[in-house]
Amino acid sequence: MTTDIKMPEGAPEEVVTHALVREVDLRAFGGSGSLALITLDNGRDHNRPNTFGPASLAHLDAAITDAISRKPTAIAITGKPFIFAAGADLSALSFIQSREQSSAIGKLGHDVFRRLDECGIPTFAFINGLALGGGLEVGLHCNYRTLASTAFTALPEVFLGLVPGWGGATILPKLIGPERAVQVIMLNALNNNTMMKAKDALNLGVVDAVFEPADFIERSIGFAVNVLNGSTPIVRSDYTNDPSWESAVATGKAAVLKKYGGALIASPMKALGLIAAAKTNTRGEGFNAEDQVLADLTMSDELRASLYAFNLIQKKRKKVEGAPKPALARKVSKVGVVGAGLMASQLALLLLRNLKCPVVMTDIDQERADKGVAWVKNELVKAVEKKRMSAEAAGRLSLLISGSADQSVFSGCDFIIEAIFEELSLKQELFKKLETIVSSECVLATNTSSLSVEKMSEGLKNPERVVGFHFFNPVAVMPLLEVARTSTTDDATTATAIAVGKELKKTMIICKDAPGFVVNRLLTRFMGEITDAVDEGTPPEIADSAMSSIGFPMSPFQLLDLVGPGVGLHVSKTLHNNLGDRYRISPTMQAMVDKGVRNFYIKDENGSVTANPAALELITAAGSPSTAEQVRTRALTALAVEARMMLDEGVVTSAAEIDLCMLMGAGWPMHLGGILPYLDRTGISDSACGKRFHPAGVASLP
């Protein structure tokens, strides 16, 4: 076996995961003989998980050889404290220059891992912490597996544009059956990369036993002794003739079509192919097939794009570009929420659950305020019922939420966010009144989606403490938070806003106070091109499906239904008034709002989704229809032009921030790698703006 494969040229230096071998006398556990225990450890703290690059695989290969040479009764593999292994070292993938390089790395992983199954000695994986991708796959090559009760595990490769390529796509369907394998490999990955808790992995049959972390290794060794002496039999099912293979694959395909708006994306479809083939493939045949698929995907723009998007999200989650020093942030021990409608109530719940400090809500009368508080408390009850929170914790939080019609309750607040009606004069009046109630250092934040934050602060004694704090709906789910600075917002206010956002576990960007900020400005421009095409005479079904081939989870009109025509029209008018005629007011959207038509699509009595006849009747189209290709090109060109203008205006400081916003706030597909790399790859950046947004090679083959 060749284990001297080097990292691709230009790739970051590999952080080597060493594999250390020690012998455990099984007599101390009521058994006989010895256990050769391999421990994976990269010598870093738990913030840097064990990973497998070529050198790490070579170390593991040598450790397996060492373990076998000791002629033990059994071999086991475990990880350093808190971590088992997080899979392949992905930092090198985007630097691979040839299919041969990729195939060699895939084959190396298979050749090393499969030794654990083929060595002729019983093997165990003691999965003591996080196990992702190749980390779980090395465990699957062992004959038996235990898992710490606090550990999470998953095969996230499809989420990243890959497949489980070191045995997972072949072994797992044979181990737990096709339906469960599709759940773990496909459905979990497509559902925002859901990880399995220990109980889930046990119930699915991925592991054989779960133990508490305090004495996990001791209990796992005891389990191994009982398996070896036959007192704990482990029975495996044969799924070769299971009748559910075809239906399981069909379920996976349907999930792909739903996730990507009807587009058949390469990595999930390749994964489904490997799962289907596992029914008849031998392990060796399956591993060879995985090598070929992995090599194909590695040399694709889809993978480079997914890795760019993934790495960007991970980086920006940890550090907000342009953020002031954290030490400047003021302590927040009481929070106010102005408004008690659905959006305001969602904000109050999020602030309450994460800051765990008093939260006061107000509205124009006590009844409305009480309704908002009741909603928050009811959500806490639901969290307890779903076992996401203890009854004691919910009870403590319930005591911290209150509501009033009197805004004097905001006295003593350190941070107040308003979520009232989108009318500038109302927000200006509100902030002036709040200044008479709170201290000069209390942050005044607005959740406006398109109005000028700067104008809200005009006439205030302390305009420097006003900041935009724009969430996306639903507040608890959408990860992006746009923090908008005005020309007077000071560093202490911004630092405090960033500190609060981190407590809320949001991914943030700091942007200039500009109409629509980032996401709404780009989405409104994009939507405008689609509605313009319909108003010009393009059949709605053609205009609305124009982007489906590239994998959007929602069509433009489905998105319009989600936000509501009223909100969409309001934002369009705001941007039209501030940015000019390129933001046109759609007669169709105006008519929908005027006539009270709230949805473009409706469900019939059978649950089928069809265009709403009431909406179709309002279209007064001209006689200049476009093809789907023409609509797609004009929409993407408009996005490129608007993004270039935003960068030139300094709305954000980098193209990567625009990519992040569209990924996290607008659902731009991960496999496209961000809006601007996609526009670069398709040549639209050059044709629309005369230059690319990113250097050549970013999120694409060099």
For 461-480, how does the pLDDT look when each residue is reduced to its tens digit (9 = 90+)? 999 999 999 999 899 999 99
pLDDT classification of 48: cutoffs 50, 70, 90: confident
pLDDT at 620: 85
pLDDT at 93: 82
- pLDDT (average), residues 376-391: 96
pLDDT at 628: 95
Instruction: Produce one character per residue of 90-107: b if its CB has 16 or more CB atoms within 10 Å, e if not.
Output: bbbbbebeeeebbbbbbb
Yes or no: say if 447 and 469 are a contact pair by the CB < 8 Å rule.
yes
Asked if the model's pLDDT at residue 515 lies above 90, the reply is yes
Strand partners, 480: 507
pLDDT at 552: 82
- Cα separation, 281 vs 156, whole angstroms: 23
Yes or no: say if 584 and 532 are a contact pair by the CB < 8 Å rule.
yes
pLDDT at 347: 98
Neighbouring C-beta atoms of residue 455, cutoff 10 Å: 14
Average pLDDT over the chain reads 94
Q: Where are the alpha helices (DSSP H) in 580-667?
A: 587-595, 613-616, 628-649, 655-665
CA 264 to chain centre: 20
Residue pLDDT, tens place only, 325-369: 999 999 999 999 999 999 999 999 999 999 999 999 999 999 999
Phi, psi angle pair for 116, to nearest 5°: -65, -25
Residues 6+ apart with CB under 8 A from 395: none
- Cα separation, 356 vs 334, whole angstroms: 9
pLDDT at 562: 87
Q: What percent of the chain has pLDDT over 90?
A: 85
pLDDT at 113: 98
- Cα separation, 23 vs 4, whole angstroms: 27
Asked if the model's pLDDT at residue 4 lies above 80, the reply is no
- The token pair that represents 585 in the structure block: 């007011």
- Cα separation, 40 vs 17, whole angstroms: 6
Which range among 8-17, 112-121, 197-206 shows the weakest confidence by mean pLDDT? 8-17
Which range among 3-7, 209-213, 375-379 shows the weakest confidence by mean pLDDT? 3-7
Torsion of CA 89, 90, 92, 95, to 10 degrees: 170
Q: Which domains does the chain have, with CATH numbers?
A: 18-299 (3.90.226.10), 330-512 (3.40.50.720), 519-650 (1.10.1040.50)
Asked if the model's pLDDT at residue 518 lies above 70, the reply is yes
pLDDT at 98: 85
Q: What is the DSSP string of 150-193?
A: T--EE--GGGGT---TTTHHHHHHHHH-HHHHHIIIIIHHHTTS
- Cα separation, 656 vs 612, whole angstroms: 38
Residues 6+ apart with CB under 8 A from 616: 540
CA nearest neighbour of 532 among 575, 566, 583, 598: 583
Yes or no: say if 618 and 595 are a contact pair by the CB < 8 Å rule.
yes
CA 76 to chain centre: 33
The residue to which tokens 């040839």 are assigned: 98
pLDDT at 171: 98
Which range among 4-8, 75-79, 552-556, 665-669 shows the weakest confidence by mean pLDDT? 4-8
C-alpha neighbours within 13 Å on the C-beta side of residue 381: 6
CA nearest neighbour of 271 among 309, 240, 302: 302
Question: Which element (helix H / strand E) includes 603?
Answer: strand 601-603
CA 622 to chain centre: 41
pLDDT classification of 163: cutoffs 50, 70, 90: very high
The residue to which tokens 């319909």 are assigned: 534
Residue pLDDT, tens place only, 600-644: 999 887 878 899 999 999 998 788 999 999 999 999 999 999 999
- The token pair that represents 169 in the structure block: 């796509």
C-alpha neighbours within 13 Å on the C-beta side of residue 394: 16
Neighbouring C-beta atoms of residue 189, cutoff 10 Å: 27
Which range among 84-88, 153-157, 160-164, 604-608 shows the weakest confidence by mean pLDDT? 604-608
Residue pLDDT, tens place only, 477-505: 999 999 999 999 999 999 999 999 999 99
Asked if the model's pLDDT at residue 583 lies above 60, the reply is yes
Asked if the model's pLDDT at residue 2 lies above 60, the reply is no
Q: Where are the alpha helices (DSSP H) in 537-627?
A: 540-544, 556-563, 565-579, 587-595, 613-616
Residues 6+ apart with CB under 8 A from 64: 19, 38, 75, 112, 115, 116, 119
Asked if the model's pLDDT at residue 548 lies above 90, the reply is no
Asked if the model's pLDDT at residue 571 lies above 60, the reply is yes
Residue pLDDT, tens place only, 384-413: 999 899 999 999 999 999 999 999 999 999
CA pseudo-torsion sign 374, 502, 508, 579: positive
